[in-house]
């Protein structure tokens, strides 16, 4: 998969700018605050319908404007794919090959993208929601139905949560809760299965990468911890029983205690939680391995590598890991966009672009 070009109009600090990208490595160089990340964010938004930085489109609008437009030309299976994203008067509109999309799932996952920035260390250091998000984002790109599944699940969770907090009489609450629980089980099972399946495949792909990053000395394991059970199968068969057991407690504490909205992805280094024991460098290796594993999984499933967007990543890695990443990208011919400041340029090949005050110029 490739991006040929993108145009950004009134998006962040861009008034009206177009860039043509090349196969292989594209390096965006500029001082701080010039607009490098904004380009990466624009491409990510065009492909996923979401920003990884903010929740509201309003913040993506160039200051004092009320509409932004993004246009991109991509290549998939040697065919051109045109994507457009428009935001005007607080309304979103997306088109793929000139046809309007009704839902996110109509276009998300057409062209896949993997984004990697130093903030991704939250996958290790942060709470379970960060790791669930990592899994869900990947699944959503592969199976757009996962987004609707999560939306439906979250709606039920909200409704059950509201019921638990309401002043409804206890005996009435019991019967109502049972109704929500049935739906939580039905939707929750599918979420658990999707996440557990991805986790297994991530482990298979990430482990050899992690091994070569650590000269075979350390082992990476990932385990999807569904409903606190050892396996997804066990969690699913005991789902209903666990809910019954916790019902009383849920009512007393006004909290939903059973369901995949509380699950975690355990990232283990030599069998111990990376969050608690991995050093800073080991944490970077864990995240790097998982990101590269994602690239491999998409390639296996779609037959083509996704686009790779690396924002400020190279300067954060030590020489060994940096060289490994660059070799990986070059040998698999993944089209990559890399941002950096001039002081950090460690690459000797690739197309160079300079980014200055919302203008981009190709240098080589």
Ligand X SMILES: Nc1ncnc2c1ncn2[C@@H]1O[C@H](COP(=O)(O)OP(=O)(O)OP(=O)(O)O)[C@@H](O)[C@H]1O
d(CA 183, CA 203): 30
Check residue 33 for interaction with ligand X (CB under 6 A).
yes
- How far is Cα 29 from Cα 343, in angstroms, rounded to an integer? 9
Does 37 participate in binding Mg ion (rule CB under 5 A)? yes
Among 63, 171, 175, 331, binds ligand X (CB under 6 A): 63
Tell me the sheet residues that pair with 221. 268
Tell whether 323 is in a known binding site.
Answer: no
Residue 37 known to bind ligand: yes
For ligand X, which residue of 8, 12, 104, 337 counts as binding (CB under 6 A)?
12
Distance CA 190, CA 121 (A): 28
Sort strands 220-225 and 91-96 into parallel, antiparallel or unpaired. unpaired
Does residue 35 have a known ligand-binding role?
Answer: yes
Task: Kindly tell me which residue out of 6, 19, 26, 37 binds ligand X, with binding defined by CB under 6 A.
Answer: 37
**Residue 38 interacting with Mg ion (CB under 5 A):** no
Candidate ranges 26-34, 170-178, 184-192, 219-227; the one touching ligand X (CB under 6 A): 26-34
Q: In what order do the strands lie in the sheet with 79-88?
A: 14-20, 2-11, 67-76, 79-88, 91-96, 99-100
13 binds ligand X (CB under 6 A): yes
> Which helix (H) or strand (E) segment is 158 a member of?
helix 145-165
Closer CB to ligand X, 13 or 207, in the complex: 13
Q: Is 8 in the site for ligand X (CB under 6 A)?
A: no
Among 27-35, 91-99, 170-178, 263-271, which window interacts with ligand X (CB under 6 A)?
Answer: 27-35
- Residue 32, annotated ligand binder? yes
Number of neighbours of residue 224 by Cβ within 10 angstroms: 26
Q: Yes or no: say if 316 and 116 are a contact pair by the CB < 8 Å rule.
A: no
Find residue 29's DSSP bridge partners: 340, 354
Q: What is the DSSP letter of 316?
A: G
Q: Using CB under 6 A, which of 8, 21, 27, 36 touches ligand X?
A: 36
Dig out the tokens for 155 from the structure. Answer: 């709606």
- 314 to 353, contacts with ligand X by CB under 6 A? 341
* Alpha carbons 259 and 228: distance in angstroms, whole number: 10
Does the footprint of Mg ion cover residue 34 (CB under 5 A)?
Answer: no
Cβ-contact 20, 5 below 8 angstroms: yes
The residue range among 59-67, 163-171, 241-249, 278-286 that interacts with ligand X, by the rule CB under 6 A, is 59-67
Give yes or no for residue 35 binding ligand X (CB under 6 A). yes
In angstroms, the Cα distances linking 169 to 21, 166, 177, 258, 300 are: 62, 9, 12, 22, 53
Q: Which of 61-69, 83-91, 199-207, 289-297 is the region at the interface with ligand X (rule: CB under 6 A)?
A: 61-69
108 binding partner (options Mg ion, ligand X, none; Cβ < 5 to 8 Å by kind): none
Q: Binds 13, which of Mg ion, ligand X, none (CB < 5 to 8 A, cut-off by type)?
A: ligand X
Residue nearest to Mg ion (CB): 37
Binding range to Mg ion, per CB under 5 A, among 7-15, 16-24, 31-39, 350-358: 31-39
Give residue for tokens 């300067």: 315
Least separation, in Å, of the C-beta of 72 and ligand X? 17
4: left (phi over 0), alpha (psi -120 to 50) or beta: alpha
Which among 54-62, 72-80, 300-308, 344-352 is the span making contact with ligand X, rule CB under 6 A? 54-62
Of 101, 11, 2, whose CA–CA distance to 57 is shortest? 11
Smaller CB distance to ligand X: residue 42 or 188? 42
Binding site residues for ATP, as ranges? 30-37
Binding site residues, as ranges? 30-37
Q: Which residues bind Mg ion (CB under 5 A)?
A: 36-37
Q: Which residues bind ligand X (CB under 6 A)?
A: 12-13, 30, 32-38, 59, 61-63, 312, 341, 355
């Amino acid at each position: 998969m490739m991006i040929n070009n993108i145009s950004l109009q009134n998006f962040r600090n861009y008034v009206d700018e177009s860039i043509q990208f090349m196969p292989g490595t594209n390096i965006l160089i500029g001082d701080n605050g010039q607009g490098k990340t904004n380009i990466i964010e624009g491409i990510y938004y065009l492909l996923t319908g979401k920003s990884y930085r903010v929740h509201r489109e309003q913040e993506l609008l160039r200051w004092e404007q009320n509409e932004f437009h993004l246009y991109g030309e991509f290549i998939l299976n040697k065919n051109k794919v045109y994507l457009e994203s428009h935001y005007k008067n607080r309304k979103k509109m997306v088109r793929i090959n000139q046809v309007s999309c009704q839902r996110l799932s109509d276009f998300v996952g057409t062209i896949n993208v993997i984004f990697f920035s130093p903030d991704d260390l939250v996958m290790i250091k942060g709470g379970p929601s960060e790791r669930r998000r990592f899994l869900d984002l990947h699944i959503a790109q592969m199976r757009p139905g996962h987004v609707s599944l999560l939306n439906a699940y979250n709606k039920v969770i909200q409704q059950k949560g509201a019921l638990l907090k309401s002043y409804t009489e206890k005996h009435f609450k019991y019967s109502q809760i049972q109704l929500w629980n049935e739906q939580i089980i039905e939707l929750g099972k599918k979420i658990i299965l999707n996440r557990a399946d991805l986790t297994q495949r991530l482990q298979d792909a990430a482990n050899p990468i992690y091994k070569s990053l650590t000269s075979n000395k350390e082992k990476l394991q990932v385990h999807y911890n569904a409903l606190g059970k050892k396996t997804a199968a066990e969690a699913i068969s005991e789902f209903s029983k666990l809910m019954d057991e916790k019902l009383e407690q849920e009512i007393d504490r006004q909290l939903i205690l059973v369901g995949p909205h509380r699950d975690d992805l355990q990232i283990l280094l030599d069998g111990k939680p990376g969050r608690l024991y991995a050093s800073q460098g080991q944490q970077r290796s864990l995240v790097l391995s998982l990101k590269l594993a994602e690239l491999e999984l998409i390639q296996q499933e779609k037959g083509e590598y996704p686009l790779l967007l690396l924002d400020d990543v190279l300067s954060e890695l030590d020489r060994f890991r940096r060289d490994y990443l660059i070799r990986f990208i070059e040998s698999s011919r993944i089209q990559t966009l890399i941002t950096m400041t001039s002081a950090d340029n460690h690459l000797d090949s690739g197309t160079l672009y300079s980014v200055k005050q919302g203008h981009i110029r190709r240098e080589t």
